[in-house]
């Protein structure tokens, strides 16, 4: 079993990361859990656990620790090897966010 865990900030970048995971792994994450995560973060609710996807071969979860309502540990547990990794998806999402912000600045938005 392969396990990967990354601490992420609950913001617009996380939306890109979750979408990137859906694309990279060819799965659909539970939209209700995603909405609950963002609603709880807005209301400063912690600790909480989230199950974004759970099958026999793949589990994607999130955990918000006590007094850390602005971040979530996203964990992927998989029986099969997958690519790209969670860390790679997160890095690409950060880069995409940077590109969007830079474009806004150069376009005068």
CATH of the domain at 30: 3.30.310
Which strands, in side-by-side order, build the sheet including 48-54? Answer: 2-9, 71-78, 58-64, 48-54
The whole-model pTM stands at 0.83
State residue 109's pLDDT score.
Answer: 58
CB-CB contact of 63 with 7 (8 Å): no
Asked if residue 108 has pLDDT above 80, the reply is: no
Find the angle CA(20)-CA(26)-CA(31) to the nearest 5 degrees: 65
Number of compact structural domains in the chain: 1
- What domain range is 65 assigned to? 2-107
22-63: per-residue pLDDT in tens?
Answer: 988 999 999 999 999 999 998 888 799 999 999 999 999 999
- Burial of 24: CB neighbours in 10 Å, binned 0-12, 13-18, 19+: middle
CA distance 55 to 18: 17
- Name the nearest CA neighbour of 72 among 60, 89, 56: 60
Q: How confident is the model at residue 101 (pLDDT cuts 50, 70, 90)?
A: confident
CA distance 47 to 41: 10
């Amino acid at each position: 079993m392969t396990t990967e865990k990354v601490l992420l900030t609950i913001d617009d970048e996380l939306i890109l990361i979750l979408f990137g995971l859906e694309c990279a792994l060819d799965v659909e994450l539970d939209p209700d859990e995603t909405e609950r995560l963002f609603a709880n973060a807005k209301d400063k609710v912690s600790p909480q656990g989230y199950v974004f996807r759970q099958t026999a071969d793949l589990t994607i979860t999130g955990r918000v620790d006590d007094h850390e309502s602005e971040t979530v540990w996203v964990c992927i547990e998989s029986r099969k090897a997958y690519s790209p990794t969670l860390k790679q998806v997160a890095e690409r999402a950060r880069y995409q966010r940077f590109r969007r912000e830079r474009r806004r600045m150069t376009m005068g938005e």
